Amino acid sequence: MTHPPSSADPSTLRVGMVGHAFMGATHSHAWRTAPRFFDLPLHPVMQVVCGRDATRAGAAADRLGWSETETDWRQLVQRDDVDLIDICTPGDTHAEVAVAALEAGKHVLCEKPLANSVTEAEAMTDAAERAAASGVMAMVGFTYRRVPAVALARKLVADGRLGEIRQVRAQYLQDWIADPSAPLSWRLDKKQAGSGALGDIGAHIVDLAQFITGDRIASVSGHLQTFVHERPVAAESTAGTLGGGGASGETGPVSVDDAAVFLASFASGALGVFEATRFAYGRKNAIRLEVNGSLGSLAFDFEDMNVLQLFDATEPAETAGFRRILVTEPEHPYVGAWWPAGHGLGYEHAFTHQVVDLVRALAAGEQPTPSFADGLQVQRVLAAVETSSHTRQWQETTA
């Protein structure tokens, strides 16, 4: 039986965060920053950070601004002084922590991808739906939705500026393991990560393509590839990094994909081409999307994240061309709370916007988006791509 979280002060939202490395630091920054720039109906309180090692958790609490620490997430989710659990751990722990938190009456924010399998994601979604009946809400953290240029792209499509959507191209390119000597980390272990480039970064472009178009991917044909099958074992892991520490002299197996490519058919009949790789030398965090419709096109590149390119096909050919929209005006999504026009935002601002949207939804008693059901749908796309790679056949993404 779930119950809505109760707070000694109903104007606060007391947060307990599980995990304090890369994502934990980013989420901490967002919880600290959001109430200082946005007028929020609830004030986030950074109550507890949880990590397995007491010393490291204590250091993280001091560095990131948390009041207390826990070393057992099971104790954290049972605390009466916590209203929301923020899950920033590897994917193999998402389902267990999220379901327990929801059943304990805590709201949940869970990093993407929602889980490591469709079965886990279904269990999480079922738990979220049961909890919602008692006013307890859950959201999955597809944070790139909150980049102002991406939010503007969604608005333009929803307003009909592109007409009927026909094609989508989406890439997510990184290079942090392109060097074969880069050491093993949890992101290269299928048990912990679920998949490699497909789930780690491919999940983002699946969500972005569906978010911007307002459409769902119905079927896929994909191929996964692992280029480096053995890597050095790190002597010690380095908290907060993607790769890890120095090599120990031993090697271990890579059990996930290094790159994923797939074709997609949307429910509307639109076509999609997707690519996710961590082997694109020179590309550090390159997210690129282009959407073509019957009335025009738009294009976004995260390496120029404050800009959206728009082509209006209704203009005369003499003057037609892609228009560069600098998305820094107060009228643009989220931007009015920040700097004067032309003063760009960065990666961290999207996480602040995520907190803002989540807190406002909770205060209003509304389901925050993307929901666990949205995360499950992305998980089904990822699973279909993986199955397609094994069978060499198109796969449906429906339940």
For residue range 49-72, what is the model confidence (pLDDT) as tens digits? 999 999 999 999 999 999 999 999
pLDDT at 4 over 70: no
The H-assigned helical ranges of 15-117 are 22-37, 54-64, 73-77, 94-103
Residue 237 is predicted with a pLDDT of 44
pLDDT in tens, 70-82: 999 999 999 999 9
Whether 316 shows a pLDDT value over 50: the answer reads: yes
Place of tokens 């267990």: 96
Cα angle 58-240-185, degrees, rounded to a multiple of 5: 120
Q: Which two tokens stand for residue 379?
A: 């998980």
How, if at all, do strands 107-111 and 138-141 pair? parallel
Q: Which residue has the higher pLDDT, 164 or 2?
A: 164
CB within 8 A of 220, min separation 6: which ones? Answer: 262, 263, 264, 265, 381, 384, 385, 388, 394, 395, 397
Q: What digits encode the pLDDT tens for the residues 97-144?
A: 999 999 999 999 999 999 999 999 999 999 999 999 999 999 999 999
Identify the pLDDT of residue 215.
98
Residue 235, pLDDT > 90, answer no
Phi, psi (degrees; rounded to nearest 5) at 51: -150, 155
Q: What is the pLDDT of residues 241-275, one digit of tens each?
A: 444 445 568 999 999 999 999 999 999 999 999 99
Structural domains of the chain, ranges and CATH numbers in brackets: 12-144 (3.40.50.720), 148-304+306-345+379-391 (3.30.360.10)
Q: How far is CA 21 from CA 32, 203, 237, in A?
A: 16, 20, 11
